[in-house]
Amino acid sequence: MTSSPKPGPAPVILQVIPDLETGGAERTTVDVAKAVIERGGTALVVSQGGRMVSELETLGARHIVLPVKSKNPWTIWRNAARLRQVIDDNRVDLIHARSRAPAWSSLWAARKARIPFVTTYHGIYGQKSAPKAFYNSVMARGDVVIANSRYTADLIEARHPVAKGRIVTVYRGSDMRELHPTSVSEDRREALRAQWDLPRDRPLIINLARLTGWKGQRVLIEAMGELKAKGLTAPVAVLAGDAQGRNDYLASLKSQIAQLDLADQVRIVGHCSDVPAALALGTLSVIASTEPEAFGRAAVEAQAAGVPVIVSKLGAVPETVLAPPVVPDADRTGWHVPPGDAKALASAIESVLSLNGQEREALTARALSHVQKIFSVEAMTGATLDIYERLLPGKAFNQTPGTTD
């Protein structure tokens, strides 16, 4: 009787991202590094640093600081040699780039080292000129090109037909257990409520997004003005996100709040380091983006947290939040509104606030079931590690997380 050949050693995976400050791509980087380690591999991450580095290193990954956030052509060229050295020093088997500038350096380093090169198209990059199209094209040059939604996959194929056949859709994944309301202690909720000085007896509308124009904070503030004009002054909108240096935009939001006399109804609270606790405090969640999103993790996380969600109907939204006419009303998991339409957003907020207990429970149960099937972190990391193994014959991860041969 012939036994099956034993899989080879687990691979060494290098991910490259501009920084590890905050955001969906950054969270995905940490999640994949964790999965690599749990299944016996070695996880390296190159970035310029950030608040998530300590979490990454606690998991057992190694972080290497390089100036990969720079778009300076000379720095990008120099980074290729630096990454090649990292590859050689650590016997890296595969390099995975998650942004354009570091992807160029990673591509050149990977080709020199003759190792597989993977990219993830995390965003919808502007492409209004031939030079910009060429700059973006590096994200379609991977041996495998990961798209974070079907919407993104279609966009890549339309822009870069040469990538057809190498594009794989892997949805971003969220930690469903961490987000579930039962996982959030009362102490965590109360600590965040006190930090943000939030009332106990009023509906809270949670908006988790960095403070930038296309995330639609202006639209939500305008919608709060519409509600006030109708006499609905109880709801409080909580804008939780980092301005990341956009001080003029932050000032414009404060000015809009003052002009509409909404100081009692809109709070700007800064960066949120405990998303599950923020959602656990919420009566509903609003994602008011005015430009297409390649995925939109916030909508998935709201559904996983048992919070009704309202989203702008554009980009990948129909893949994450189900609403008529895409599905019958009986299958609804949230609400779609036209982007930039404050009146429609105000009307949807009214609809959510008018749900009775039974209706709300049925809605959130459907939403939780929907996201658990498709958008879990386990599904995302499993699919990603499968891609790595496919590109690395003779290498294999452990089948059971946390085990060794």
Whether 365 and 381 map to the same domain: the answer is no
HEC string of the chain? CCCCCCCCCCCEEEEECCCCCCCHHHHHHHHHHHHHHHCCCEEEEEECCCCCHHHHHHCCCEEEECCCCCCCHHHHHHHHHHHHHHHHHHCCCEEEECCHHHHHHHHHHHHHHCCCEEEEECCCCCCCCHHHHHHHHHHHCCCEEEECCHHHHHHHHHHCHHHCCCEEECCCCECHHHHCHHHCCHHHHHHHHHHHCCCCCCCEEEEECCCCHHHCHHHHHHHHHHHHHCCCCCCEEEEECCCCCCHHHHHHHHHHHHHCCCCCCEEECCCCCCHHHHHHHCCEEEECCCCCCCCCHHHHHHHHCCCCEEEECCCCHHHHCCCCCCCCHHHCCCEEECCCCHHHHHHHHHHHHCCCHHHHHHHHHHHHHHHHHHCEHHHHHHHHHHHHHHHCCCCCCCCCCCCCC
89: pLDDT confidence band, cut at 50, 70 and 90? very high
The model scores a pTM over 0.75: yes
Given this model, what pLDDT does residue 213 score? 95
Render pLDDT for 317-357 as a digit per residue (tens, 0 to 9): 878 999 999 899 999 999 999 999 999 999 999 999 999 99
Whether 256 and 338 map to the same domain: the answer is yes
| CA geometry: angle 135, 23, 343, nearest 5 deg | 100
Give the range of the structural domain holding residue 50, as residue numbers without chain letter. Answer: 12-173+376-391
Render pLDDT for 363-396 as a digit per residue (tens, 0 to 9): 999 999 999 988 999 999 999 999 999 999 989 9
Render pLDDT for 28-65 as a digit per residue (tens, 0 to 9): 999 999 999 999 999 999 999 999 999 999 999 999 99
Given this model, what pLDDT does residue 127 score? 84
Output the six-digit token pair for 173: 């994944």
Given this model, what pLDDT does residue 5 score? 45
Whether 344 and 383 map to the same domain: the answer is no
Q: Looking at residue 226, which CATH number applies to its domain?
A: 3.40.50.2000
Separation of alpha carbons 285 and 204, rounded Å: 8
More confident residue, 293 or 100: 100
Cβ neighbours for 264, distance < 8 A, ≥ 6 positions apart: 233, 236
Given this model, what pLDDT does residue 7 score? 58
Given this model, what pLDDT does residue 2 score? 42
More confident residue, 400 or 342: 342
pLDDT at 134 over 80: yes
Measuring CA to CA, which residue among 13, 178, 174 is closest to residue 98? Answer: 13
Output the six-digit token pair for 260: 């509409």
pLDDT at 401 over 90: no
Rounded mean pLDDT of 276-285?
A: 96
Whether 225 and 161 map to the same domain: the answer is no
Tally of domains in the chain:
2
| Mean pLDDT, the chain, whole residue set | 93
Whether 238 and 369 map to the same domain: the answer is yes
For residues 305 and 283, the answer to whether their CB atoms sit within 8 Å is no
Render pLDDT for 60-86 as a digit per residue (tens, 0 to 9): 999 999 999 999 999 999 999 999 999
Given this model, what pLDDT does residue 402 score? 65
**396 in a domain, yes or no?**
no
Render pLDDT for 188-215 as a digit per residue (tens, 0 to 9): 999 999 999 999 999 999 999 999 999 9
The residue written with tokens 């000379």 in the block is 74
**267 in a domain, yes or no?**
yes
Rounded mean pLDDT of 126-155?
A: 93
**3 in a domain, yes or no?**
no
- Percent pLDDT > 90 in the chain is 85
Given this model, what pLDDT does residue 4 score? 45
Whether 345 and 380 map to the same domain: the answer is no
